[in-house]
Amino acid sequence: MTDNYSLITDTHHFWIKNAHIPLCLLENVSINPQTREQLCHVDLEIDQNKIINIIPHTSQLPEYPYIDVKKGIIFPCFIDSHTHLDKGHIYERSPNLSGTFEEALNTVKKDAENHWKPEDIYRRMEFGLQCSYAQGTIAIRTHLDAFGEQAKISFDIFQQLKEQWQNKVILQGVSLVSLDYFLNKEGEQLADLVANYGQILGGVAYMNPQIDEQLDRVFTLAKERNVDLDFHADETKDPNSICLKKIAQAAIKHQFENKIACGHCCSLAQQSEELVKETIKLVKEANINVISLPLCNLYLQDRTPETTPKWRGVTDVHALKKQGIPVSFASDNCRDPFYGFGNHDGLEVLRESVRICHLDTNYDDWVTTVNKIPAQLMNLSNLGTIRIGANADLVIFKARYFSELFARPQSDRQVIRQGQWIDTTLPDYDQLDDLIFCL
């Protein structure tokens, strides 16, 4: 940064000067953008952990300490709306050597049967939180495998971490079972458990003869308990997989007023133009949020060993956005059989989404897909934008323009939480060695 950096780490009142902030991430501030990419050149005043002023950049020096970020881009902290913290970081002990979806399912099932004791789940989930926090994430929604006794085990650990990390990362939990589970007594018990924890009811929708009955049951359970819904839908290239359409129809039928998210929705990009239009119309009427997971979908979809993929695996984000559907991007799996890579980094998610989905030239407001839009989905209205009166929760990059931002990992980013600079050192992988290698 600048020589002034050391001065402002010990004060509660300071300025961040000479910054670039995307216009779409500034709220209730009247400032004109100065670049073709709609970046605003601004100065921010921070006092007692809050942003108290946002003004057009001026060369005039303030009376309080300041830091000159040399036109570096500033984002609000990331919001990761679809993750699997309970599966994370098991790849070394349970690799997916074929890279296929089927092997991923089977490998995770075996790993859970053999290793998912409370300490194992807790430490791997906390490792993911450490990575997320250090890189600028402020809120995470994680799916939790919830068949049988695993539900209580995982939700207990989730609740423990939720309380321990409440001043650093906001946590939301979603049950993860196949939808047929809700047709049984155990499914109703799971819905009760989710409601008791104040979390989100969720499951995997796949085409089968009972899909309509399963959806009716899930929506009924959710309405009775006044909880939000979050589905895995159409994680396949099969154009005949129309779960997203059926979820939308069920939402309209049940007049469901709480929030609904649908993750993946890959098959939408493989369907006819007519079916896509019909589905998107229903999705909009049902007020469904779509979460695209480009990293995992690029990894698993169209995967045949020793064969070059012909498709990038992602849903039709452009068609969805054009019709006003809220679209978010998220991490999904991290270093497990469903995705062998990943680092819980919101910038990596955005950068690869830009590359995979062709979101550049013009970037428009795609940068809101990892902060502002997921904040609205997750009922976090106080997060996701930069505005006067908000907590100073910011990620500061040296990159001045989007071409610079997406060209490098930005490992030298600075993260401010409630007006204080935090340690951005990532945890070492060897913290998990006794779990992964001492089996």
* Partners of residue 232 on adjacent β-strands: 204, 263
One of 235, 278, 285, 404 is an active-site residue; which one?
A: 235
The arrangement of strands across the sheet holding 260-264 comes to 201-205, 229-233, 260-264, 288-292, 327-329
| Secondary structure of residue 15 in the 3-state scheme | strand
Tokens of 225: 């308990």
Q: How far is the C-alpha of 283 from the C-alpha of 257, rounded, in Å?
A: 13
Pairing outcome for strands 74-76 and 66-68: unpaired
Q: Are strands 39-47 and 50-56 parallel, antiparallel or unpaired?
A: antiparallel
> Which of 209, 203, 165, 200 minimizes the C-alpha distance to 187?
203
Nearest residue to 113 via CA among 88, 145, 140, 78: 145
- The letter for the amino acid at 388 is I
**Pairing of β 288-292 and β 327-329:** parallel
**One-character DSSP codes across 58-72:** -SSPPSS-EEE-TT-
**Beta carbons of 232 and 176 less than 8 angstroms apart:** yes
Helix (H) or strand (E) holding 13, with range, is strand 13-22
State yes or no: is 257 an active-site residue.
no
Cβ contact 290:265 at 8 Å: yes
Residue 45 bridge partners (DSSP): 15, 53
CA distance 143 to 140: 10
CB 23 within 8 A of CB 11: no
Two tokens, residue 33: 């953008």
CA dihedral 186, 191, 196, 199 (to 10 degrees): 130
Short-list 235, 272, 229, CA closest to 248: 229
- Is residue 202 within 8 Å of residue 175, measured between CB atoms? yes
Placement of tokens 């839908």 in the chain = 233
Active site residues: 235
